[in-house]
Structure 1
Amino acid sequence: MALDSINPLNDPRVKHCYANLNAIQYHYLLAEPPGGFWGTIFLIHGWPDLSMGWRNQIPFLLSLSYRIVCPDIIGFGRTAAPPVSPPTSNPTTNIEYYSFKRAASDIAELARQLNCPKIILGGHDWGGAIVYRVSLWYPDLVSHIFSVCTPYKAPTSTYIPLEEVVKGWPHWTYQVVLASGVVEEHIKTPENIKQFLNALYGGKGEKGEVGFSVTKGPIWENLGKLRRTSLVGEEVLGWYVREYERNGVGASVNWYRNREVNFKDELQLTKKTINVPVLFIQGTRDEALPPSMSEGMEGLIPNLTRREVKTGHWALWEAPEKVNGFIAEWLRKVDRGEKSNL
């Protein structure tokens, strides 16, 4: 059976909606099963993605009678993108908009506006990091969490700058590069955006050239040599480019400049734990979030279920049927009860 996926260009199963959340205009996708819904799932995307990154999961979760809410997070797509100043690794203005605390507050407000006393949260990449934090800030709101690729790291009382982190985790060097301001310098036109996204989505050149490395960041000289990635078609890639034109790719990398503000916010969370059921799906070939990073999660999350897929970072696109199957299996147990025919 062919995978049922949302068409970003025109699909009647999703509505493009807008909401004012704590004085910021957000865009979100809303999908509701026609026969009523069992519960509401918020799906939170990462970088460099958009709400439509869940296009392979939305129809499947609809078929399980869940209402689906997929926001573009701040700085992405059709949601507002407050400019930070200076656009470097140490901004002093507006960086709080790109914090986990702010994201959690905005998600909680959207849930309130949609009359959701409880929500299930799913996340990928930055979205995975965000959903854990929503549970810490708003424990009464979140009933279950699933995260694809992103492991849980608890708030800490010791601040370690990213430049120090990469000495032990060289696979995060790309984050230092992205935060530095070079993206804004290089990516200015629609063609630049297309080449950049194609590189991030796995496009390769005739001789195996890549346009992005976790230990180097963007490899600018290779971007024009890459063939289109096999993970997205030309129409979908074009749609992503047009969406990123709204705010520019530079707005999205503000999420790599938020480490210190998150640390300061979360000093009050260091003694809190996540007690709701959590499903973590590891991409075994994810270079940015390798399996070693998830070691010890059992000691931090008492109700943890682990699964894995043999993919890189884009597990939602590389192995959607497998990911969907794991989510359904888990929901059957933790949300519907073992005897459910989900």
Structure 2
Amino acid sequence: MSSSRVISANGIDLFVREQGQGPLVVLCHGWPELSYSWRHQIPALAAAGFRVVAPDMRGYGRTTAPSGVAAYSIFDTVGDVVALVQALGETKAMVIGHDWGAPVAWHAALFRPDMFTAVAGLSVPPPFRGHGKPLDLLRENGITNFYWQYFQTPGVAEAELERDVAHTMRIVLGGRGLSDPTAAMFVQDDKGFLGHASGSEPLPSWLTEADLAYFTETYRKSGFRGGLNWYRNIDRNWELTAPWQDAQIHQPSLFIAGSKDAVITGLIGARRVNELDRVLPNLKRKLIIDGAGHWVQQERPDEVNAALVKFLKESAVQ
């Protein structure tokens, strides 16, 4: 069984779930999720011989949520993972991230190759640092209603998402009943981020009412501001990572995504998924799980776990 505790690291308190003995594996969740999102991976990786630690990331759940937007840059979020490894008494780790946790994992490997010996990203490809700020590029392409843009003004998305947290989580995690999931990434006038769905659709088979209740109860307590502040650093992260323009991640790497994930089929990701080797010269495998959507490690845990275990065993530094 996994246990949980709070660990002070990098000036904040991180709530973590942990299980197992062996080489350290850190699991970084995305938005709007929690360490609970790794509930199928933690015991499987522990059983395979690894020490698995999954934090509620900065701003989420029972982890500290600093008030200022500037406290959520990629340096802060990677800094949390570095400090967590050290607080656990380790000097090396393998790091895995999903959604917003994937950029944390990729950048952890990029910034600290001495510490992070292998890296896996789920749903979000590695950093292809373009030649302009992401939000500027959207505007230059005539896009004004992408959800990244809607999330920028503090208070706007918070008000919508916190109005009825159970409704929000049912729509965002449970699916929106859309034939084209990419459409959910664009916010229609006066409809808000949740306007595509009624929330009356049955839950998918992989998400139980008990799972949904856990996410809902946690977000009722924490609110959404911490997680949204990650999006408010998108352009700043581009500025901060200028020294890593065209840098590669040389450690063993793995990419996993669902074939129906709008992140890899839509605006940002499709071309990047076809060019992974530009950033990942030591890519061991690209696994696209047919029929899976964005919440891939929850939707298809058996396939994800098998791929992760194989990758981690091959990559573990003895």
Partner of 1:202: 174
Q: Which of 22, 28, 53 in structure 2 is aligned with 1:44?
A: 28
Tell me, yes or no, if structure 1 residue 162 matches structure 2 residue 135. Answer: yes
Q: Match of 2:10, as an amino acid?
A: N
Identity of aligned residues (%): 26
Matches within 5 A, 1:47-196: 47-83=31-67, 94-156=68-130, 158-165=131-138, 173-180=146-153, 181-189=155-163, 192-196=164-168
What residue is the counterpart of 2:302 in the other structure? Answer: 321
Structure-2 change in CA distance of 1:104 and 1:175 (3 Å): same
Cα distance change of structure 1 residues 166 and 241 upon mapping to structure 2, 3 Å threshold? farther
* In the alignment, structure 1 residue 295 sits paired with structure 2 residue 274: yes
Cα offset for 1:276?
Answer: 0.4
Whether contact under 8 Å (1:170, 1:215) holds in the other structure is no
Q: Which amino acid aligns with 1:195?
A: H
- Paired position in structure 1 for 2:18: 30
Secondary structure, aligned partner of 1:312: coil
Q: Which deviates more from structure 2 when the two are superposed, residues 291-300 or residues 161-170? A: 161-170
Q: Is the 8 Å Cα contact of residues 123 and 131 (structure 1) preserved in structure 2? A: yes
Rounded Cα–Cα distance in structure 2 between residues aligned with 1:242 and 1:335: 37
Alpha-carbon shift at residue 137 of structure 1 (Å): 1.7
Deviation at 1:246, TM superposition (A): 2.3
CA contact (8 A) 1:204 1:229 kept: no
For the 8 Å contact 2:2–2:43, the answer to whether it is kept is: no
- The whole-number CA distance in structure 2 between the counterparts of 1:141 and 1:172 is 39
Residue aligned with 1:200, SS: helix
Q: CA deviation at 1:234?
A: 1.0
Q: d(CA) in 2 for partners of 1:298 and 1:170?
A: 29
Alpha-carbon distance, 1:328 to partner: 2.1
Is 1:47–1:252's contact at 8 Å kept on the other side of the alignment? yes
CA shift for structure 1 position 187: 3.0
| TM-superposition CA deviations, 1:32-78 (whole Å, max 9, x none) | 2xxxx330100000011111101111111011110111011111100
> One-letter code of the match for 2:307?
F
Matched, 1:214 2:185: yes
Evaluate the alpha carbon distance shift between residue 167 and residue 213 of structure 1 in structure 2; reply closer, same or farther with a 3 A threshold. farther
Provide the secondary structure at the position in 2 that maps to 1:123. strand
What CA distance in whole angstroms lies between the structure 2 residues aligned with 1:112 and 1:283?
33
Matched, 1:333 2:305: no
Correspondence 1:19 to 2:7: yes
Indicate if the aligned counterparts of 2:128 and 2:272 stay in contact, CA closer than 8 A: no
Distance 2:92 2:144 in 1: 36
Rounded to whole Å, the distance in 1 between the matches of 2:302 and 2:151 is: 32
Deviation at 1:241, TM superposition (A): 0.9
203, 215, 220: which one pairs with 1:240?
A: 215
Distance 2:299 2:132 in 1: 35
Amino acid across the alignment from 2:312: L
Cα displacement string for residues 234-271 of structure 1 (whole angstroms, at most 9, x for unaligned residues): 11111111111222023311111111221222122226
Partner of 1:250: 225
Q: Is the 8 A contact 1:74 1:97 kept in 2?
A: no
Post-superposition shift, 1:160?
Answer: 1.9
**Gap regions ≥5 residues in structure 1:** 1-12, 84-93, 338-342
Residue of structure 2 in register with 1:86 after alignment: none
> Could you tell which deviates more after superposition, 41-50 or 241-250?
241-250
Does the Cα contact within 8 Å between 1:287 and 1:312 map onto a contact in 2?
yes
Alignment root-mean-square deviation, CA: 2.6
Aligned to 2:248: 273
Residue identity in the other structure for 1:303: N
Please tell me whether the aligned partners of residues 121 and 255 of structure 2 are also in contact (alpha carbons under 8 angstroms). yes
Q: Residues of 2 paired with 1:172 and 1:329: CA distance?
A: 40
User: Using the alignment, how far apart are the partners of 2:150 and 2:300 within structure 1?
Assistant: 29
Structure of greater relative contact order (alpha carbons < 8 Å, 6+ residues apart): 2
* Paired AA for residue 174 in structure 1: Y
- C-alpha spacing 1:270/1:317, structure 2 compared with 1 (3 Å): same
Whole-angstrom distance in 1 between the partners of 2:317 and 2:103: 25
